[in-house]
């Protein structure tokens, strides 16, 4: 567990309760958003217990920054900040108000912790030109951790093309999910854009427009899933045999 709260008394209560429970180890504590992101990147905790009312980052920015720092960590919000709660519930593994019974929080942490395998990473990216570069860096780091170094070049190219396409055509924030499988990885990029992307051969002199052709050539399989208000482009990459 990584405990993030700007009130020392709350952290003492949490630390003590977790120790008495017997199933948890606290690997770090932070009282600011910048410290939370730094410690998350360094310790890669199974679960982050996150207060949203920190002095240096707005609540939404705080959750996004911690998620970027350690994409495979699960986040449980424990906060008195209740505004826009559905937004946080969609992006965290749990949301517990501070006036709730501490046993409710502990039971949730135990359940979330038991499901943790660090096999899935989630990254929310802003709609700007730096998004593909950030996605590449995260995927490269993940595959290195997972021991899938033979897939790094293909995976970083795939995620770069998909995120760049989302930034150009969808506009608002895109979400990247990376799942580790026994023989490879699955990369998903979700955005609120419309339409079904399809590989098309650009004119021979064109400098752009080959992204999905590249993705199709590298992938063992790929496809597009449409849902209400979202589109997901998924790609599966297999480890080279032998």
Q: How far apart are CA 191 and CA 127, in angstroms?
A: 10
What pLDDT shows up at residue 207?
47
Q: How far apart are CA 83 and CA 104, in angstroms?
A: 21
What does the pLDDT average to over 196-210? Answer: 55
* Predicted confidence (pLDDT) at residue 168 exceeds the cutoff of 90: no
What pLDDT shows up at residue 32?
96
What does the pLDDT average to over 16-36? Answer: 93
Residue 85 DSSP SS3: helix
What does the pLDDT average to over 196-220? Answer: 67
- Please calculate the CA angle 47-10-3 and round it to the nearest 5 degrees: 20
What does the pLDDT average to over 136-165? Answer: 92
Q: Which token pair is 84?
A: 């826009």
Q: How confident is the model at residue 83 (pLDDT cuts 50, 70, 90)?
A: confident
* Predicted confidence (pLDDT) at residue 202 exceeds the cutoff of 70: no
pTM of the model: 0.82
Q: How far apart are CA 172 and CA 191, in angstroms?
A: 7
What does the pLDDT average to over 114-122? Answer: 93
Domain ranges of the chain: 2-114, 120-238
Fold of 120-238: Heat Shock Protein 90 (3.30.565)
User: What whole-number percentage of the chain has pLDDT above 90?
Assistant: 64
CATH 3.40.50.300 holds for 2-114? no
What does the pLDDT average to over 201-230? Answer: 74
Pick from 23, 36, 43: which is nearest to 79 by CA? 36
- Cβ neighbours of residue 165 closer than 8 Å, sequence gap 6 or more: 189, 197, 211, 212, 233
What pLDDT shows up at residue 213?
83
């Amino acid at each position: 567990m990584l405990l993030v709260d700007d009130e020392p008394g709350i952290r003492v209560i949490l630390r003590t309760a977790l120790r008495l429970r017997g199933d948890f180890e606290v690997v770090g504590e932070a009282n600011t958003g910048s410290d939370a992101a730094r410690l998350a990147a360094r310790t890669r905790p199974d679960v982050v217990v996150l207060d949203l009312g920190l002095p240096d980052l707005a609540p939404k920015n705080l959750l996004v920054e911690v998620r970027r720092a350690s994409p495979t960590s699960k986040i449980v919000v424990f906060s008195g900040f209740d505004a826009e709660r559905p937004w946080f519930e969609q992006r965290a593994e749990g949301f517990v108000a501070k006036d709730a019974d501490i046993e409710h929080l502990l039971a949730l942490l135990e359940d979330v912790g038991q499901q943790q395998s660090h096999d899935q990473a989630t990254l929310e990216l802003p709609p700007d030109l730096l998004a593909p570069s950030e996605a590449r860096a995260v995927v490269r780091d993940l595959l290195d951790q997972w021991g899938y170094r033979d897939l790094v070049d293909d995976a970083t190219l795939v995620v770069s093309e998909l995120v760049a396409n989302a930034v150009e055509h969808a506009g608002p924030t895109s979400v990247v999910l990376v799942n580790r499988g026994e023989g490879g990885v699955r990369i998903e990029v979700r955005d609120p854009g419309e339409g079904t992307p399809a590989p098309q051969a650009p004119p021979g002199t064109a400098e752009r427009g080959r992204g999905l052709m590249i993705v199709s050539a590298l992938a063992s399989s790929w496809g597009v899933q449409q849902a209400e208000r979202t589109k997901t482009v998924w790609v599966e990459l297999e480890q080279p045999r032998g």
